[in-house]
Amino acid sequence: MTAYANLHLAFEQMRVRARRAERRDAAEQDGTGPDNAIGLIQQGGGGGGGSGSGGGGGASGGDDDEDEEPPRVLIVGPEHSGKTTACKLLVNYAVRGTAACSPLYVNLDPSDGGFTIPGTVSACVIDSPLPTSSPANPLGITATSAPTALSSSKLTPLVHWYGHTDVKKNAGLMEHLIRVLNEECQERLEIDALARTSGIIIDTPANFTAVPMQDKFALVKAAVYAFRVNVILVIGNEKLTVEMQKIFSSEEAKGQSQRPITVLKIPRSPGVVDLDSAYCERAQAHQVKNYFYGSPLQLPPELAAAFTSAGGREGQGLSGLNLGGEAAAMDLALSPHSSVVSFDDLTIYRIGQDSFAPSSALPIGASRALGEMQPVKIDPSQPGQGIVNIVLAVLSLTEAPEMDIEEAILDADVLGFVVITSIDTENNRFTVLVPSAASLAGRVALTGSIQWQEA
C-alpha cells in the first residue's frame, strides 16, 4: 500500500499543477475562472515534491506545459496481478482527497465486465468511491440497479461492444474501439473542467501486451497515443517494464506522443491470488445475470441480526437505517421482461466471422473475402446462425444507415443488452429477455461470443 500512497501523492501534485494552469488559461482568455469546481483546489499541495511524475522539469516553456498535464495512467501487467484493484485504489484515493476530484475511469478489459457485462469496453467519470462487494460487480453495481450505494452508477457509463472476452479474438476491432472511445471521452472532458484536470485511469487485460499482430504491443501503443498517456504502471513484471521503457523512450515514440512518458514498476500486491478459468466463467455468467435480475443489498451479519430483531431496542434503533441512500431492507432485485419480437423489428449484425484462419493458411496471393471488422447481417430464419442464448448489444442506432454502414455500426455506443431465449422460425419471431418493456422495433443489435442461459 505504500507504493500506491506514494503514487497518489505524485498524481495529486500533477492535478494541482493542471488545475492552476486551467485557471490561469481561463483568466487569460476571458478574465474569469473556469468551473466553480476548479475553485475548490487546495493551495497547500502545490509543492514540487520529489516523486517521479513524468519526466523532470526543464528550463523551457514547453517543459512547463508538460509538467502541467494531469495524470493519465495506463496500468499493464501479467494475468491475475491486481491491475483492476490498482485502478480502483488510485481512483478511490483521488475521490476521497481534500480537493474535488472526478477522474475518468476507462476499462479496456472485456473479460471483467466493468460497469456492465463482459464483452464491453467502457468509460465513466467517477465522483465517489468504487465499492467491491462481489466479483459480479467489479466496479460497483451496474447502472441498471441505480440508484445504489455507488452514486456514480446513477450516471450511465459510455459503453462500446467488443463481443468477446479475449482481446486476441479480434485485435483489429479492439484497436478501433480504443480510438473511438478516446474521441468520445475527449468530447466529455472538453465540457467538464473538473474531470479534465483530474486525469484518466486506464485498466487493461493481461494479454493486452501480447496480441497476434505484427507488433504485439500494438494495442498498448494505440491506448497510449490515443489517450495521451504520460504514466505507465507495470505491476510485478521486470521484463515487461524494460520492454515498455525501451518502446516509449525511442525517438519514434517521442515523436508520436510529443510528451515524456514515465514507466514505473510497482510491486504485486501480496493479497492477489490466481484464478482458474472455471471461476472466471462463473463470475462472468453472474455478471450477466446481475445485469438482468439485479442483486440484493447485503448487510454485515451484525447489522442484519440487529435489523431483524424488530422488538429489541437495537432493532428499533436501526429501523431507519440507510446504506448508500437506500433502505437497508430494500431488495434490489430487478424484474426483466420476456418479449416476442418479429424478425423485421430487430436487425442483427455480427462483426466479421466467428473464427478466422491465420493469414499463413491462405493460398498464396489470396485474401479473406470477409474482413475482421466488416459487419455481416444475420438472417434469423436460416438455421445455424448461433444466436440462441447469445447476448446481443442494442446499439444507439435506430436503423441501419444506407451509407457508411460499417463505420456507423462499429462506432455506435450501446444502449443496453438483450438475450434471445428462443426462435420461432415458422412465425418469423423470437423471444428475447430485456431489462425493461421498451420496444425494440427498428433497433440494430450486435452479437458476439458471450453466452448466457438462465438456470
User: What distance in Å separates the CA atoms of residue 307 and residue 302, rounded to the nearest whole number?
Assistant: 9
Q: Which residues, listed in sequence order, are joined to residue 340 by a DSSP beta bridge?
A: 431
Phi then psi dihedrals of residue 374, to 5 deg: -95, 120
DSSP structure string for 32-56? S-S-GGGGG--GGG-S--SS--SS-
% of the chain surpassing 70 pLDDT: 72
The 10s digit of each residue's pLDDT in 369-420 is 456 788 888 988 887 788 899 999 999 887 655 667 788 899 999 999 999 9
User: Between these two residues, 15 and 55, which has the higher pLDDT value?
Assistant: 15
Report which residue type is found at 351. I
- What's the CA gap between 250 and 244, in Å, rounded? 10
> What digits encode the pLDDT tens for the residues 327-340?
444 456 778 889 89
Residue 358: count of CB within 10 angstroms of its CB: 7
* 86 CB burial (10 A radius; 0-12, 13-18, 19+): buried
**For a pLDDT cut of 90, what percent of the chain falls above it?**
32
> How far is residue 315 CA from its own chain's centroid?
40
The band of 197, judged by pLDDT with boundaries at 50, 70 and 90, is very high
Q: Which three cell numbers stand for residue 414?
A: 450501446
Strand partners, 430: 341, 423
Residue 362 has pLDDT above 70, yes or no: no
Residue found under cell 439485479: 294
Beta-sheet pairing, 72-76 with 231-235: parallel
Q: What is the pLDDT of residue 54?
A: 37
Distance, in Å, from the CA atom of 363 to the CA atom of 365, rounded to the nearest integer, reads 6
pLDDT (mean) for 3-28: 89
pLDDT of residue 165: 92
Q: From CA 106, how far away is CA 72, in angstroms rounded?
A: 10
Closest CA to 440 of 371, 362, 353, 345: 345
Per-residue pLDDT at 116 exceeds 90: no
CA–CA separation, 158 vs 186, rounded Å? 12
**Residue 429: helix, strand or coil by DSSP?**
strand
Give the HSE-up count for residue 433: Cα atoms under 13 Å, Cβ half-sphere. 19
Q: Which among 54-58, 152-156, 180-184, 292-296 has the top mean pLDDT?
A: 180-184
- Tell me how far apart the alpha carbons of residues 162 and 174 are, in angstroms, rounded to a whole number: 7
Task: Determine which of 56-70, 79-93, 339-353 has the lowest per-residue pLDDT on average.
Answer: 56-70
324 pLDDT higher than 50: no
Buried-exposed string 98-121: b where 16+ CB fall within 10 A, e elsewhere: ebbbbbbbbbbbbbbbbbbbbbbb
Q: DSSP class of residue 238?
A: H
Among 433, 417, 405, smallest CA distance to 159 is for 417
Of residues 392 and 363, more confidence is placed in 392
Residue among 370, 14, 405 at smallest CA distance from 196:
14
Contact between 372 and 404 (Cβ < 8 Å)? no
> Which ranges of 294-341 would DSSP assign to H, the alpha helix?
301-308, 313-317
Q: CB burial class (10 A; 0-12, 13-18, 19+) of residue 325?
A: exposed
Place of cell 438475450: 419
Residue 37 has pLDDT above 60, yes or no: no
DSSP code, position 390: B
